[in-house]
A and B are shown apart, each in its own frame.
Chain A
């Protein structure tokens, strides 16, 4: 398998250098960017497999980069990276089109793994993101008003997410539920799709209300 071509977008030089030294041998880093404009330029110029995208970026943030790139190149895949872990940002960046979300203290090996997964078209859910999603889709659902599949998670999807939130890797989830890893990936991708497409207002309201609960 040829190496994944990756663009790293972050406004901290130090972080980019760190990522380069940590995963530079496992993937091919073809470009870098430090703000929205340079990021868009680097991505459009190199057409990488995966973009590692900082959520907080001068010029409007990571969501702005995704918006501009996806207008012309909807096939580019983004993996969001952040230090913040704030629910608004995590859900926001996923809804803006990222295929996954990891925090910056992720280990190099895990990051390479996540890049591969995103490049293959799968979704990367950290335990925290799984927790946020469960939280967002649970509780306040008014069953009577749910008429679309998009608006809720299936029993199986919930099970998968709960295991991920408990710290299980996809492989461990598969073993626990007696299903294949591929099936786990399918479930997670389907959750991602629901998260991006569902226009339940609870979802957005949840993200803003969360701090008040």
Chain B
């Protein structure tokens, strides 16, 4: 709860964070290893990166100032509220656990001598506050990856709240020192000690400040440069593999307009996917599989297939058959309808999946489907029925053909 270590470990191992916390607590009780482990992990663990990476295309447009990145403009109050609540309850829990542990130690007589007790409590709380603040602001800084002056490492972007936290922390530490000295009967030294401390801190700051500042800046610059050159390399590789190859092919087939159009279209699709689409999940989801089927039909028959999807679900065995039936419908439309475009609509709504394949071609007589149109009877209707679905076909010369596939998933 202090630095999110348990949560991180839980995420990594795929178990509940409560389990991880219990294990940590158990090890703490038996010999205090838990604390050590926790501290070590805190330092060693990479920070989580919750930021959603934009697709290359969008990121590039944003960098180039071609679009404004819209931060969620509308109320997210609910989520924020919850987050606040959570962190508040965390702090509360921390405080309660801390107090409990201390009292336990005192009662058990293992505690520190009474004289030392309160100074230590004050100092500990103060340090905890400052550390927590520094940790949080560092996270914020890493997430934004901007260079921040030295002071910023402690202050972060927390504004007055962080200032208050630090001030309270300092006051607590000061109180601790004072109380300690008072109890040891050396009150007169308080002033001297404080001045000496202050001078020492300032001295260290003056000596090490610029150096540390330069170091962070160089590190940031170097990291940014490395990321940039990696991106350039990726981009070059991608352009070579796809675009250059396609351009070469297009030059070779320049006298065949249909082939050129097909190549251009398939390259466009690939580039578009690479630039703007989410991760490729072609093999796992219904919409992914439908898109791939459409792409295959487009490539092999040279008719553009526009796919629109609403909702999505995992691809089960029956749904794969549904996609195969849809593919067959697209092939039929591409081969026989004479339409210059095919529209495919995939919708998953609750337990129901539907695919529509539509063309504005010349249509055909559905009832009089001859034996030479086995594709429709067997590959589409038969296949759907075998897997508990349904296919309906509507066709007339004026509006073209629409195949509707339905299945409960």
Q: Which of B54-62, B127-135, B145-153, B223-231 contacts A (4 or more CB under 8 A)?
A: B54-62
Contact segment of B69-77, B87-95, B248-256: B69-77
Which parts of A170-212 form the interface with B (CB within 8 Å)?
172, 199-201, 203-205, 208, 210-212
Q: In the complex, how many angstroms separate the beta carbon of A69 from the nearest chain B beta carbon?
A: 15
Residues in A127-173 with C-beta less than 8 Å from chain B: 127-128, 130-131, 134-135, 138-139, 162, 165-168, 172
Find the A residue at minimum CB distance from B57: A84
Considering the chains assembled together, what is the distance between the CA atoms of A135 and B52 in angstroms?
A: 20
B78 located at the interface, meaning its Cβ lies under 8 Å from any Cβ of chain A in the complex: yes
Pick from A59, A63, A131: contact of B308, CB under 8 Å: A131
The contact sample of 14 A-B pairs, CB cut-off 8 A, is A84-B58, A84-B275, A131-B308, A166-B343, A166-B356, A166-B402, A167-B356, A199-B75, A203-B74, A204-B74, A205-B76, A210-B278, A211-B55, A212-B52
* CA–CA, A75 and B230, complex, Å: 47
In the complex, B383 has a CB within 8 A of chain A? no
Question: Is residue B184 within 8 Å, beta carbon to beta carbon, of the partner chain?
Answer: no
Complex interface: chain A residues within 8 A of B279 (CB): 211
| Partner pick for A201 among B61, B67, B78, CB 8 A cutoff | B78
C-alpha gap A86/B74 in the complex (Å): 20
* Cross-interface CB contact of A199 among B66, B74, B276, B349, cutoff 8 Å: B74
CB nearest to A84 among chain B residues: B276
- Residues of chain A at interface, number, CB under 8 A: 43
Residues in B whose Cβ lies below 8 Å from that of A64? 68
CB of A116 within 8 Å of the partner chain? no
Say which residue of A56, A135, A172 sits within 8 Å of B311 (CB atoms).
A135
Which B residues lie at the A interface, using CB under 8 A?
Answer: 52, 55, 57-58, 61, 64-68, 70, 72-76, 78-79, 272, 275-279, 306, 308-312, 343, 345, 347, 349, 356, 358, 399, 402
* Distance between Cα atoms of A172 and B356 in the complex (Å): 15
Q: Which of A63, A127, A172, A201 contacts B68 (CB 8 A)?
A: A63
Given the interface pairs A61-B66, A211-B55, the reply to whether A131 lies near B310 with Cβ below 8 Å is yes
Query: In the complex, A89→B75 CA distance in Å?
Result: 20
List, in ascending order, chain B residues with CB within 8 A of A212's CB.
52, 278
Residues of B within 8 A of A63 (CB): 67-68, 70
Q: Is A88 an interface residue (CB 8 A)?
A: yes
Partner of A165, one of B52, B68, B78, B345: B345
Contact indicator B75/A162 (Cβ below 8 Å): no
A92 to B61, CA, bound (A): 14
Asked if A208 contacts B72 (CB within 8 A), the reply is yes
Known pairs A58-B64, A201-B72; A167 contacts B399 (CB<8 A): no
Kindly name the residue among B52, B67, B275, B276 whose own CB sees the greatest number of chain A CB atoms within 10 A. B67
Q: Would B310 and A134 count as touching, CB distance under 8 A?
A: yes
Question: When chains A and B are docked, how far (Å) is the Cα of A61 from the Cα of B66?
Answer: 5
CB closest residue in chain A, given B271: A83
Considering only CB atoms, which chain A residue lies closest to B281 in the complex? A213
**Given the contacts A135-B311, A208-B52, A201 and B76 also touching, CB distance less than 8 Å:** yes
Contacts of B277 on A, CB cut-off 8 Å?
211
B312 near A213 with CB under 8 A, answer yes
**Residue A85 is within 8 A (CB to CB) of chain B in the complex:** yes
With contacts A64-B68, A86-B55, A212-B278 taken as known, whether A130 is within 8 angstroms of B308 at the C-beta atoms is yes
With CB as the reference atom, state the residue of chain B lying closest to A210.
Answer: B278
User: When chains A and B are docked, how far (Å) is the Cα of A113 from the Cα of B399?
Assistant: 19
B70 touches A128 (CB 8 A): no
A39 at the interface (CB under 8 A from B): no
Give the complex CA separation of A166 and B346 in angstroms.
9
Say yes or no: B52 contacts A211, CB within 8 Å.
yes
Which chain B positions have C-beta within 8 A of A92? 67, 70
Docked Cα-Cα span, A128 to B287, in Å, equals 14
| A138/B349 contact (C-beta < 8 A), A86-B58, A131-B308, A205-B72 known | yes
The answer to whether A56 touches B345, judged by C-beta atoms less than 8 angstroms apart, is: no
Tell me whether A85 and B276 are in contact in the complex, defined as CB-CB below 8 angstroms, given that A57-B66, A58-B64, A58-B65 are known contacts: yes
Interface of chain A residues 46 through 67 with chain B (CB within 8 A): 55-64
Cβ–Cβ < 8 Å partners of B74 in chain A = 199-201, 203-204
CA distance A139 to B276 in the complex (A): 23
Measured CB to CB, the closest approach of chain A to B197, in angstroms, equals 48
Query: Which among A58, A130, A139 is the interface contact of B66 at CB below 8 angstroms?
Result: A58
A127 lies within 8 A of B343 (CB): yes
Chain B contacts of A139 at CB under 8 A?
311
Given contacts A63-B68, A166-B358, A208-B72, contact A138 B55 (CB under 8 A): no
C-alpha gap A167/B399 in the complex (Å): 12
What would 19 more interface pairs be, CB under 8 Å, given A56-B61, A85-B276, A204-B72?
Answer: A56-B66, A58-B64, A58-B66, A64-B68, A83-B272, A84-B61, A84-B276, A86-B57, A92-B70, A127-B345, A128-B308, A131-B308, A135-B309, A138-B311, A167-B343, A167-B356, A167-B358, A201-B72, A201-B74
